[in-house]
């Protein structure tokens, strides 16, 4: 062999060793967020491992290795340092798994033409696309349309929610619009409520937005287009609540039902392994990169429907056709211009959809405050604000106020709890004061008879003074106020069993209710002996009043127990709305007048007023269906008041309990309610006296 021929063979071997078809291949992946997101980055890493397995099965002799860096987008340089590290390590293929990496990757594509780069770029192929760059993406709106059909078919409340990362990004806007069309295909009267998070990966805000859609807007299905698994995790937590309604999530990226179980109605997940295998296989085979198949329809997929779904939902999904969606026939340019903002989406895609704008992030609330949302009645949108926790509670995460531990307390809006101020030590002056008090006690004892005679006159005077104070606190007739209705379960049975014990219990119970009413500047409206209506000025005040009264009633001591173990159970219902008030002569309680500890009696120990209106009617209607010991708040009332109080709630959704109305036959009363979960007050033991058809 001549020297020239030998040199030619040597150079050919060198080129072959350096060519893309070399026997060794290292592939590297830039993951947007953490693997623990159980969402976007988790899905891409699953695809990495599957692509690795498939290529090894096809090329057993290939020396194949792969590695990844998670949360690369959140590095200070947004991934540029990661790309440089990959190239320095000898990575032949660098996969940038999110559009946000475009700026980091771009300078390296030109600098290293022998490295194959891939960029997940959603709907958009980059305008700069040299031979060593592959752009790939997924168009999942067909699957989102079918998911919307499932959500609309399932929804009982007629309210469906959607937590969206960015509503001005075309791929998100297309998913929301397709989902909205699907919802109305199976449920034309439904309303779809959208909350924008403003971030691809913000689990806390994702979860908070899902909670607001569920608890405030009564959405019984909430979909999610974002990178975390937070909405599915929220649905799984709701599912564990006793007597939870049929609440579901429709998440994306991964098969979320593997992590969140039956709480996932269905999901739109992505299988990127085919894309990564195709890119890696061409490089391993010495072939140039190509765009062919990079927007493969096999990437987006639907999860199976939850076994908790009803038969109608299964049937609706079977009838739905992924090709029957609003974007068939759209050009790429039209899809890339789609946005839910500024009226850039056609009306046929957004009919029945309400965009509530940007969700308030819990991280934006200072310690001691939490996100509280309510429905703005003027425009039917969510109005959210950072609201201070009440005294006796604290908050550090902006999401929920927590009660202080035993022996600790806090001021309103506190981030921590602390021991109460120590009582001052007794000094010589204090001891002298004790001596004076003892002497005064002796004089009071000597004048006991006179005190007993005057007591009833002082009570009458206090009643008149209380009447003036309560009248001053009364809302204007017809104005909005919060009605708190107290009732005693099976009161007639307790009166019949032991009227003396029942009278003693009712006296103590009413005293506690009235003390809580006075402390919260409410006033007592007309009612029977053991059934009391109290009116407060606002939902938060009414809930705090109810909780204080229930805690005090729970602490009524042993002498008021029946049969040595059981005492009457009190239920409370709370509704905010229009109330008409006027003074009235109070009715006498069963068994005659109230009896006081000194032997005197009166028709009522406090002044009464008459209250009527829609809020009163609703509160009394909820009393009919409340379980013994239960605190119920009408859904909007709870949404306004509960989140900033040291207690939790359990959504009952559309609570339906059937009862007979004489000859009228069965009647189904439907009232959207929240059950209040109060620390220190046990949950009620549910009876079977009502038939649920939830």
pLDDT on residue 685: 55
Per-residue pLDDT tens digits for 252-291: 988 888 888 889 999 999 999 999 999 999 999 998 888 8
Residue 75 above 80 pLDDT?
Answer: no
pLDDT on residue 450: 35
When pLDDT is averaged across residues 622-635 and rounded to a whole number, the result is: 81
Cβ distance 387 to 369 under 8 Å?
yes
pLDDT on residue 430: 39
Which of 687, 692, 646 lies closest to 673, judged by CA? 692
pLDDT on residue 124: 62
In b/e form, how buried is each residue of 574-587, taking b as 16+ CB within 10 angstroms? bbbbbbbbeeeebe
Q: Pick the range with the lowest mean pLDDT from 453-457, 609-613, 627-631.
A: 453-457
Q: Which residue has the higher pLDDT, 464 or 225?
A: 225
Per-residue pLDDT tens digits for 190-219: 999 999 999 998 898 999 999 999 988 889
Residue 385 above 50 pLDDT?
Answer: yes
Question: What's 515-536 look like in SS3?
Answer: HHHHHCCCEEECCCCCCEEEEE
Residue 230 above 60 pLDDT?
Answer: yes
Residue 88 above 50 pLDDT?
Answer: yes
When pLDDT is averaged across residues 168-193 and rounded to a whole number, the result is: 93
Question: 333: which residues sit within 8 A by CB, 6+ positions away?
Answer: none
**Complete domains list, the chain, with CATH:** 20-136 (3.40.50.2300), 141-267+303-359 (3.40.50.2300), 369-416 (no CATH), 469-692 (3.30.70.1230)
- What is the pLDDT confidence band of residue 495, given thresholds at 50, 70 and 90? confident
- Could you give the percent of the chain with pLDDT greater than 70? 71
Phi, psi of 558 (to 5 degrees): -55, -40
pTM above 0.75, yes or no: no
Residue 97 above 50 pLDDT?
Answer: yes
Q: How many CB atoms lie within 10 A of CB 39?
A: 31
Q: Pick the range with the lowest mean pLDDT from 82-96, 203-217, 220-234, 461-475.
A: 461-475
Cβ distance 95 to 68 under 8 Å?
no
Residue 467 above 60 pLDDT?
Answer: no
Q: Is residue 354 helix, strand or coil?
A: strand
Which of 482, 485, 490 lies closest to 623, judged by CA? 485
Residue 568 above 70 pLDDT?
Answer: yes
User: Which tokens hold the place of 279?
Assistant: 């890119």
Residue 653 above 50 pLDDT?
Answer: no
When pLDDT is averaged across residues 3-8 and rounded to a whole number, the result is: 48
Cβ distance 484 to 637 under 8 Å?
no
Q: Mean pLDDT for the chain?
A: 76
How far is it, in rounded angstroms, from Cα 29 to Cα 408? 50
- What is the pLDDT confidence band of residue 582, given thresholds at 50, 70 and 90? low
Per-residue pLDDT tens digits for 58-69: 999 999 999 999
When pLDDT is averaged across residues 643-649 and rounded to a whole number, the result is: 53
Q: Which residue has the higher pLDDT, 65 or 585?
A: 65
How far is it, in rounded angstroms, from Cα 468 to Cα 645? 30
Residue 186 above 80 pLDDT?
Answer: yes
Residue 387 above 90 pLDDT?
Answer: no
Per-residue pLDDT tens digits for 329-382: 787 778 888 888 877 788 888 888 988 888 888 888 888 888 877 766 555 667
Which of 535, 629, 630, 644 lies closest to 582, judged by CA? 535
Cβ distance 470 to 607 under 8 Å?
yes
Q: Which residue has the higher pLDDT, 65 or 126?
A: 65
Q: Which residue has the higher pLDDT, 280 or 15?
A: 280
Beta-bridge partners for 248: 221
- What is the pLDDT confidence band of residue 521, given thresholds at 50, 70 and 90? confident
Measuring CA to CA, how many Å separate 637 from each of 481, 541, 632, 641, 683? 10, 11, 10, 6, 20
User: Which tokens hold the place of 534?
Assistant: 């109290």
User: Which tokens hold the place of 77?
Assistant: 């340089």
Residue 691 above 60 pLDDT?
Answer: no
pLDDT on residue 671: 52
- Could you give the percent of the chain with pLDDT greater than 90? 26
- What is the pLDDT confidence band of residue 113, given thresholds at 50, 70 and 90? very high
pLDDT on residue 342: 74
In b/e form, how buried is each residue of 90-99, taking b as 16+ CB within 10 angstroms? ebbbbbbbbb
The CA-CA-CA angle for residues 310, 322, 158, to 5°, reads 40
Q: Which residue has the higher pLDDT, 161 or 450?
A: 161
């Amino acid at each position: 062999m001549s020297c020239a021929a030998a040199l030619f063979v040597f150079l050919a071997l060198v080129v072959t060793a350096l060519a893309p078809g070399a026997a060794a291949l290292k592939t590297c992946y830039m993951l947007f967020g953490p693997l623990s997101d159980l969402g976007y980055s988790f899905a891409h890493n699953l695809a990495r491992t599957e692509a690795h397995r498939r290529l090894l099965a096809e090329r057993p002799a290939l020396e194949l290795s792969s590695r990844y860096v998670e949360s690369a987008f959140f590095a200070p340089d947004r991934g540029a340092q990661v790309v440089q590290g990959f190239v320095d390590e000898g990575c032949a293929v660098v996969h940038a798994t999110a559009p946000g990496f475009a700026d980091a990757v771009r300078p390296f594509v030109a600098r290293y033409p022998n490295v194959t780069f891939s960029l997940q770029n959603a709907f958009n192929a980059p305008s700069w696309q040299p031979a060593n760059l592959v752009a790939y993406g997924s168009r999942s709106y067909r699957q989102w349309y079918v998911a919307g059909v499932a959500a609309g078919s399932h929804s009982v409340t007629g309210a469906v929610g959607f937590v969206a990362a960015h509503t001005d990004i075309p791929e998100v806007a297309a998913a929301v619009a397709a989902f909205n069309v699907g919802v109305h295909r199976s449920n034309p009267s439904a309303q779809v409520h959208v909350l924008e998070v403003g971030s691809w990966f913000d689990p806390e805000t994702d979860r908070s937005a899902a909670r607001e859609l569920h608890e405030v807007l009564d959405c019984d299905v909430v979909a999610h287009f974002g990178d975390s698994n937070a909405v599915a995790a929220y649905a799984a937590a709701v599912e564990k609540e006793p007597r939870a309604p049929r609440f579901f999530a429709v998440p994306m990226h991964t098969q979320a039902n593997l992590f969140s179980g039956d709480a996932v109605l269905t999901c739109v997940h992505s299988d990127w392994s085919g894309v990564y295998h195709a890119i890696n296989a061409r490089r391993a085979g010495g072939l140039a990169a190509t765009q062919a198949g990079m927007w493969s329809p096999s990437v987006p997929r639907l999860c199976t429907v939850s076994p908790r779904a009803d038969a109608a939902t299964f049937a609706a999904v079977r009838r739905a056709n992924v090709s029957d969606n609003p974007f068939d026939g759209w050009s790429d340019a039209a899809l890339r211009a789609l946005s839910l903002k500024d009226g850039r989406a056609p009306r046929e895609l957004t009919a029945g959809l309400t965009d509530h704008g940007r969700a308030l992030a819990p991280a934006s609330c200072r310690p001691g405050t939490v996100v509280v949302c309510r429905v703005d009645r003027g425009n039917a949108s969510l109005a959210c604000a950072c609201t201070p926790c009440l005294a006796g509670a604290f908050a550090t995460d902006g999401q929920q106020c927590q009660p202080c531990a035993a022996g600790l307390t806090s001021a309103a809006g506190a981030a921590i709890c602390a021991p109460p101020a120590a009582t001052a030590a007794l000094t010589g002056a204090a001891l002298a004061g004790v001596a004076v008090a003892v002497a005064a006690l002796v004089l009071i004892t000597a004048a006991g008879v006179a005190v007993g005679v005057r007591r009833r006159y002082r009570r009458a005077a206090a009643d008149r003074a209380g009447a003036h104070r309560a009248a001053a606190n009364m809302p204007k007739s017809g104005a909005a106020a919060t009605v708190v209705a107290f009732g005693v379960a099976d009161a007639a049975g307790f009166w019949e069993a032991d009227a003396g014990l029942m009278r003693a219990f009712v006296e103590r119970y009413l005293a506690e209710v009235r003390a809580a009413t006075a402390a919260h500047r409410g006033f007592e409206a007309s009612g029977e002996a053991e059934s009391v209506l109290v009116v407060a000025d606002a939902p938060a005040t009414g809930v705090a009043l109810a909780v204080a009264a229930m805690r005090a009633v729970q602490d009524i001591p042993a002498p008021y127990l029946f049969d040595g173990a059981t005492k009457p159970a009190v239920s409370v219902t709370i509704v905010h709305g229009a109330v008409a008030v006027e003074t009235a002569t109070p009715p006498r309680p069963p068994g005659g007048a109230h009896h006081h500890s000194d032997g005197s009696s009166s028709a009522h120990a406090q002044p009464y007023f008459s209250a009527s209106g829609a809020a009163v009617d609703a509160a009394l209607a909820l009393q009919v269906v409340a379980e013994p010991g239960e605190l119920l708040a009408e859904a909007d009332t709870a949404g306004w008041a509960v989140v900033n109080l040291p207690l939790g709630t359990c959504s009952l959704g559309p609570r339906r309990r059937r009862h007979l109305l004489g000859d009228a036959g069965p009647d189904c009363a439907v009232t959207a309610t929240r059950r209040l979960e109060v620390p220190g007050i046990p949950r009620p033991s549910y009876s079977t006296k009502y038939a649920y058809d939830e």
